[in-house]
Amino acid sequence: MENNRIIVISREYGSAGSLIGRLLAEQLGIPYYDKNFINEAVKNSGLSVDFMEREDQKFISSLLFNLATGGYRHANNKDMSDQVYIAESNAIKQVAQQGPCVIVGRCADYILRDEHELFSVFIHADFGWRVKRCIEQYGSDAKRIEQQIREKDRKRARHYEYYTDCVWGDRKNYHMSINSSLFGIEKSVELIRYAYEQLGQ
């Protein structure tokens, strides 16, 4: 039986989640979408890529201020960060309407939860493994990479929790959680693919 579920992947920074998602999509013969589909949101919303990236950065600063002052949730009026989120949500919904695919990040599991059958995966890895992998990829020193990993993880967690009221990385929010540093990239792809294909039988 054909599996029409959409695979949505959340991942820790440096865990190879994007690479695993791309390889998984290639093996399954379905489209793959990551942060680059932000361009689709740009076309539909009229917001420029530079603007959206600036707002994404400003979001964390404003969120930290809201936390410090006790105003965690955003008000009913739509600020610019909300406009970015809406544009991204529309892009995610559009690609999901086209059929099975792999979508990495951007709260896709939450955005699509009521409209599509999903297979939701969280990819994590040991911190040391992530540091080593990032150094190999980006050639930076260990201290800078460690700081970058922590900052990226905090940003993803806050963004996810702000818009979903769910805890990023909590096993209850995902169908499958996998340690890519334990299994390696190829085996992680294989395990996720096996689990996904079992759901289609």
177 band by pLDDT with thresholds 50, 70 and 90:
very high
Give dist(CA 179, CA 129) in Å, integer. Answer: 11
Predicted pLDDT of residue 71: 43
The string of pLDDT tens digits covering residues 25-72 is 999 999 999 887 766 665 666 655 555 455 455 544 444 434 443 444
Predicted pLDDT of residue 66: 46
Give dist(CA 112, CA 136) in Å, integer. Answer: 34
For residue 16, is pLDDT > 90? yes
- Dihedral, CA atoms, 108, 114, 115, 120, nearest 10 degrees? 40
Residue with tokens 């150094």: 135
Predicted pLDDT of residue 48: 52
Query: What are the structural domains, with CATH classification, of the chain?
Result: 6-199 (3.40.50.300)
The string of pLDDT tens digits covering residues 99-154 is 999 999 989 999 999 889 999 999 999 999 999 999 998 887 888 999 999 999 99
Query: Could you tell me which of 149, 168, 58 has the C-alpha nearest to residue 107?
Result: 168
Predicted pLDDT of residue 79: 65
For residue 185, is pLDDT > 90? yes
**Side-by-side strand order, sheet with 6-11:** 32-33, 102-104, 6-11, 118-124, 176-179
Predicted pLDDT of residue 169: 92
Predicted pLDDT of residue 168: 94
Predicted pLDDT of residue 80: 64
Task: Look up the pTM and report it.
Answer: 0.81
Give dist(CA 156, CA 12) in Å, integer. Answer: 8
Per-residue burial over 130-168, b if 16 or more Cβ lie within 10 Å, else e, is bbebbbeeeeeeeeebbebbeeebebbebbbbbbeeeeb
Report which of residues 175 and 54 the model is more confident about: 175
For residue 196, is pLDDT > 70? yes
